[in-house]
């Protein structure tokens, strides 16, 4: 759980990240900014902040904020019903994002998950995204990402987002919490 | 057709709009920036500038620039094959956009199309978008839009973009030109 004090502190940081990135939000969006710790109670290490712009049956756009060295844990978006699963494009707007996907393991990766969670991180092909750079993740493909030393602002363009269907590698992450990724 | 001189001039303007909006593009995106006059040869009045970030079978994201008082002519995205047609969300990032959709006619609309083209503009319900504001257009719904006095930068989040299927109200706009909207 994210305490009220922590939420306020992170919320304020996000607003300054958005301001620095030139991203304007409505008052409602500012108030609805989501902070999730994936139920792990270690939000500064493993968490994500986001504003959902639109999420219809067909497409979705969000603005994400990663705090410095904050990790969004490894997960996949599996097929659901008639849909082949969520497809995501991450476009870095500010800072640096280290994104990991299936493929040959990168030697000396620039990001590491918390040491006690390492067993739940199985893909190690590193994609480094700087402002203006982007990467598209196919459905049903494991991925995780971490903000660089200065954090990051990332636009996500995707098909419909149904967080309750996301599958996390870490069994401690349960869908009873309000997870968003 | 957009002359090379005009293209260069508009291209330069777009880069300064993007810079002012804090939007970072890769060198490839800068080089691939599209300027379309919809085949009408009056690009300052009726035209659109755009950078396509991603356009897969399932979703699409673009950054649009409207010059001051430049109009994107009325069009619809009809059903194509199994798809019900393109769904679009426009999010204003900078400047003002006047967007027109079906509904009760707005008295004294803040934008007008070129006088000699007025008969090809049939929807007059005005939506004004300032930075941070957005509007979602359902498939197969006529719409047109115009930049305000200072132009505008607009993010478009949508399903797959297939410009060749767009239907413009103005019969002078033909799909033999490289139209983008
Ligand atoms: Zn994901
Ligand atoms: Zn359109």
Strand, helix or coil for residue B146: strand
Q: Is B93 within 8 Å of chain A by CB?
A: yes
Q: Is B22 within 8 Å of chain A by CB?
A: yes
Tell me the CA–centroid distance for residue A181 and ligand 1, in Å. Answer: 5
* A140-143 contact pairs (CB < 8 A, 24+): A140/A76, A140/A77, A140/A78, A140/A79, A140/A84, A140/A85, A141/A76, A141/A77, A141/A101, A141/A102, A142/A74, A142/A75, A142/A76, A142/A101, A142/A102, A142/A169, A143/A74, A143/A75, A143/A76, A143/A99, A143/A100, A143/A101
* Banded model confidence at residue A145, pLDDT cuts 50, 70, 90: very high
Q: What's the whole-number mean pLDDT along residues A144-159?
A: 98
Residue A181 in this model has a pLDDT that exceeds 50: no
Interchain CB distance below 8 Å, A59 and B155: no
Region B4-168: CATH code: 2.60.120.10
Model confidence pLDDT, tens digit, residues B104-121: 999 999 999 999 999 999
Q: In whole angstroms, how far apart are CA A25 and each of A161, B22, B92, B116, B162?
A: 20, 14, 10, 38, 29
Q: What's the whole-number mean pLDDT along residues B76-82?
A: 93
Query: Closest-CA residue in chain A for B25?
Result: A132
DSSP structural state of residue A149: E
- Predicted confidence at residue B176, as pLDDT, reads 47
Nearest to B59 by CA among A55, A2, A28, A3: A55
Q: Is B131 within 8 Å of chain A by CB?
A: yes
- Predicted confidence at residue A174, as pLDDT, reads 75
Residue A119 phi, psi (nearest 5): -65, -15
Interchain CB distance below 8 Å, B53 and A89: yes
- Predicted confidence at residue A175, as pLDDT, reads 55
Q: What's the whole-number mean pLDDT along residues A18-45?
A: 97
Alpha-carbon distance of B135 to B130, in angstroms, equals 11
Give which of A54, A77, A91, A136 to mutate to test B binding, by max B Cβ within 10 Å. A54
Q: What's the whole-number mean pLDDT along residues A61-71?
A: 98
Model confidence pLDDT, tens digit, residues A88-122: 999 999 999 999 999 999 999 999 999 999 999 99
Residue B179 in this model has a pLDDT that exceeds 70: no
Q: Is A22 within 8 Å of chain B by CB?
A: yes
Alpha-carbon distance of B159 to B61, in angstroms, equals 8
Q: Is B30 within 8 Å of chain A by CB?
A: no
Q: Give percent of chain A above pLDDT 90.
A: 92
Residue A22 in this model has a pLDDT that exceeds 50: yes
Alpha-carbon distance of B71 to A125, in angstroms, equals 45
Interchain CB distance below 8 Å, B132 and A159: no
Residue B100 phi, psi (nearest 5): -125, 130
CB A47 within 8 A of CB A67: yes
A163 backbone φψ class: left, alpha, beta (φ>0; ψ -120 to 50)? alpha
Average confidence score pLDDT of chain B:
95
- Predicted confidence at residue B162, as pLDDT, reads 92
Interchain CB distance below 8 Å, A91 and B53: yes
Q: Is A160 within 8 Å of chain B by CB?
A: no
Tell me the CA–centroid distance for residue A131 and ligand 2, in Å. Answer: 27
Tell me the CA–centroid distance for residue B134 and ligand 2, in Å. Answer: 14
- Predicted confidence at residue B174, as pLDDT, reads 75
Query: Closest-CA residue in chain B for A84?
Result: B58
A58 backbone φψ class: left, alpha, beta (φ>0; ψ -120 to 50)? alpha
- Predicted confidence at residue B159, as pLDDT, reads 97
Q: Is B132 within 8 Å of chain A by CB?
A: yes
Query: Closest-CA residue in chain A for B131?
Result: A24
Query: Closest-CA residue in chain B for A18?
Result: B22
Residue B106 phi, psi (nearest 5): -75, 130
Across chain B, the runs of DSSP E, i.e. the strands, are: 34-36, 48-55, 60-66, 71-76, 88-101, 125-129, 134-137, 143-158, 167-168
Residues of A in contact with B157 (CB under 8 A): 53-54, 59-61, 157
* Banded model confidence at residue B82, pLDDT cuts 50, 70, 90: confident
Interchain CB distance below 8 Å, A59 and B134: no
Strand pairing report for B60-66 and B143-158: antiparallel
Model confidence pLDDT, tens digit, residues B19-74: 999 999 999 999 999 999 999 999 999 999 999 999 999 999 999 999 999 999 99
């Amino acid at each position: 759980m994210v305490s009220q004090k922590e939420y306020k502190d992170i919320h304020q940081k996000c607003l300054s990240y958005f301001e620095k990135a030139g991203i304007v939000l409505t008052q409602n969006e500012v108030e609805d900014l989501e902070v999730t710790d994936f139920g792990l109670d270690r939000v500064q290490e493993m968490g994500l902040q986001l504003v959902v712009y639109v999420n219809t049956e067909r497409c979705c756009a969000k603005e994400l904020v990663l705090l410095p060295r904050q990790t969004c844990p490894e997960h996949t978006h599996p097929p659901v019903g008639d849909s082949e699963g969520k497809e995501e494009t991450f476009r870095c707007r500010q800072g640096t994002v280290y994104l990991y996907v299936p493929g040959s393991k990168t030697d000396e990766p620039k990001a590491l998950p918390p040491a006690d969670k390492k067993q739940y991180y199985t893909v190690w092909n590193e994609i480094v995204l700087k402002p203006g750079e982007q990467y598209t993740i196919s459905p049903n493909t494991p991925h995780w990402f971490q903000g660089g030393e200065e954090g990051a602002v990332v636009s996500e363009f995707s098909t419909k987002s149904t967080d309750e269907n996301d599958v996390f590698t870490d069994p401690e992450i349960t869908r009873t919490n309000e997870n968003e990724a």
